[in-house]
Amino acid sequence: MSFPANPFKPTAGVMPPVLIGRSLICEDFSEGLDDGPGAPDRLMLISGPRGSGKTVMLIELRKLAEQRHWFVIDETASSGLCDRLIAQIAPDHGIFAGTTIKPSLMGASLGEVSIAPALRPSTLRDAMNARLKTLGKGKGLLITIDEIQDADDTDITAIATAAQHMFRENANVAFAFAGLPQVISDLLNAKVVTFLRRASLKKLGDVPLDDVRESFAHTIRSRGITIDDTALEEATQATEGYPYMIQLVGYHMWRAARRRKTNASNEITAEDVQTGIIQARARLGEGVCAPVIDKLPERAVDYLKAMAKDNGPSRTQTIAKRMNATMDYANQYRVKLIEEKIINAPERGTVDFTIPYLREYLRIRE
Ligand SMILES: Nc1ncnc2c1ncn2[C@@H]1O[C@H](COP(=O)(O)OP(=O)(O)OP(=O)(O)O)[C@@H](O)[C@H]1O
Ligand SMILES: [Mg+2]
């Protein structure tokens, strides 16, 4: 038997073979759809660091809605978000059957709509209502927006205002937004969009190692490949439950086994796992950490390297000493790195990394 195709997907936004540890969120969302207008899980905010699975979570929510024959619009935030939404939601490219037709929208086609900011909330509502009229009874409209941290404030306000009205009118709609944790919490604290505080907040963290082990075992053994329990355990531990790393380790140990010319037995050995882990770590650094580090001034990188000497949070005093700098001097970089959301201050006088594996990556580069 030849070695089967690699089932692991270490690529941003691509569905993994098993969506580990997210079944509760799926259940909540499904119930929200089934319970009808007013259900709290019809407004979901998904927050999580890079590589935690926000995009694939939105894809999964989309599937759940489509199974119920809902109409789904997926968007990624960037300038012009609200106008793009309107253009896609409005049936017949902006010509609203049965509702007031906004002259500004007549004959507009996708990507060409530009609406005065003050008119956006009402136009978005009109578009949603017009779309709902075209859908069969009981069928609703789901809007998912990814990378919400890149949205303009005016767009967020317009969308939240429109959503609020739709909910108030008991319309058959649902919204799911995903973004980086800091931005989601800023959003919840912002005065303009108090409505969003009602959202059901789902924080995507690391998944339990027991689930990782089980899914590795299933994904591998169900394809006729053997792996012994020790090797399985090694692979599981190396992921630390970080979703992107799960796919990287899975992918690279599979590849190592397939490429071993002597592998007549279709087995992933402990050695393949070792090779896989090393390659996975290198990839993680390239994919997630390098783009962040390469943009920083040299002394900011020195600050991070000084932090990487610790196994947990670092004291700011210690960092300054390691940099041979005064506290004031080191502090400039601390402020910059916090602004860039690369580090945070878990307590007064301490700093820690916010990007998974950045510490390990910096150590390798030393
Ligand atoms: N629950 C999960 N179980 C296993 N693998 C997962 C899970 N969620 C995501 N992944 C995998 O992790 C990787 C990252 O997923 P995704 O692109 O959705 O993350 P993200 O949070 O959107 O990242 P970013 O902030 O960079 O956009 C992908 O390879 C995906 O297949
Ligand atoms: Mg994403």
- State the distance from the centre of ligand 1 to the C-alpha of 76, rounded, in angstroms: 16
- State the distance from the centre of ligand 1 to the C-alpha of 12, rounded, in angstroms: 6
Q: How many CA atoms does the CB half-sphere of 74 hold within 13 Å?
A: 15
Q: Which atom of ligand 1 is nearest to the CA of 15?
A: 31
CB atoms within 10 A of CB 324: 10
pLDDT of 187-242, one tens digit each?
777 766 788 888 999 999 899 999 999 999 999 999 999 999 999 999 999 999 99
Confidence (pLDDT) at 191: 66
Atom 25 (ligand 1) nearest CA: 50
Distance separating alpha carbons of residues 96 and 259, to the nearest angstrom: 57
Distance separating alpha carbons of residues 115 and 193, to the nearest angstrom: 20
Q: Which atom of ligand 1 is nearest to the CA of 48?
A: 21
C-alpha distance across the termini of the chain, in Å: 44
Instruction: Give the confidence band of 282 by pLDDT, cuts at 50, 70, 90.
Output: confident
Confidence (pLDDT) at 161: 93
Q: Which domains does the chain have, with CATH numbers?
A: 23-203 (3.40.50.300), 209-292 (1.10.8), 296-365 (1.10.10.10)
Ligand nearest to the CA of 251: 1
Confidence (pLDDT) at 262: 63
Strand bridging mode 350-353 / 343-344? antiparallel
Average pLDDT, stretch 261-275?
86
Distance separating alpha carbons of residues 289 and 105, to the nearest angstrom: 43
CB of 81 within 8 A of CB of 67? no
Q: Is 243 in the pocket of ligand 1 (CB under 6 A)?
A: yes
pLDDT of 314-359, one tens digit each?
999 999 999 999 999 999 999 999 988 899 999 999 999 988 788 9
* Of 103-112, 183-192, 264-273, 316-325, minimum mean pLDDT range: 103-112
Q: Which of 204, 244, 251, 355 to mutate to test the pocket of ligand 1 (most atoms within 8 A of CB)?
A: 244
Average pLDDT, stretch 126-135?
94
Q: Which of 58-67, 76-85, 179-188, 346-355 has maximum average pLDDT?
A: 58-67
Q: Is 53 in the pocket of ligand 1 (CB under 6 A)?
A: yes
102's tokens:
């906004």
Average pLDDT, stretch 258-276?
87
**If we measure between CA atoms, which residue out of 205, 360, 206, 236 comes closest to residue 289?**
360
234's tokens:
């090694």
| DSSP designation for 4 | P
Q: Which of 18, 56, 214 to mutate to test the pocket of ligand 1 (most atoms within 8 A of CB)?
A: 56
Q: Describe the crossing of helices 229-239 and 243-259 by its angle, rounded to 10 degrees.
A: 140
- State the distance from the centre of ligand 1 to the C-alpha of 15, rounded, in angstroms: 8
Question: Which helix or strand (DSSP H or E) is residue 59 part of?
Answer: helix 54-67
Distance separating alpha carbons of residues 72 and 249, to the nearest angstrom: 33
Q: Which atom of ligand 1 is nearest to the CA of 147?
A: 27
Q: Is 247 in the pocket of ligand 1 (CB under 6 A)?
A: yes
CB of 25 within 8 A of CB of 226? no
Average pLDDT, stretch 300-305?
97
* Of 92-101, 159-168, 323-332, minimum mean pLDDT range: 92-101
**If we measure between CA atoms, which residue out of 312, 323, 308, 296 comes closest to residue 360?**
308
Is pLDDT larger for residue 108 or for residue 81?
A: 81
Say whether pLDDT at 107 is over 50. no
| Environment class of 6 (CB within 10 Å of its CB; exposed 0-12, middle 13-18, buried 19+) | middle
Instruction: Give the confidence band of 360 by pLDDT, cuts at 50, 70, 90.
Output: confident
Q: Which of 12-26, 258-272, 343-357 has maximum average pLDDT?
A: 12-26
Q: Which atom of ligand 1 is nearest to the CA of 11?
A: 29
Confidence (pLDDT) at 100: 44
Q: Is 11 in the pocket of ligand 1 (CB under 6 A)?
A: yes
Distance separating alpha carbons of residues 25 and 60, to the nearest angstrom: 10
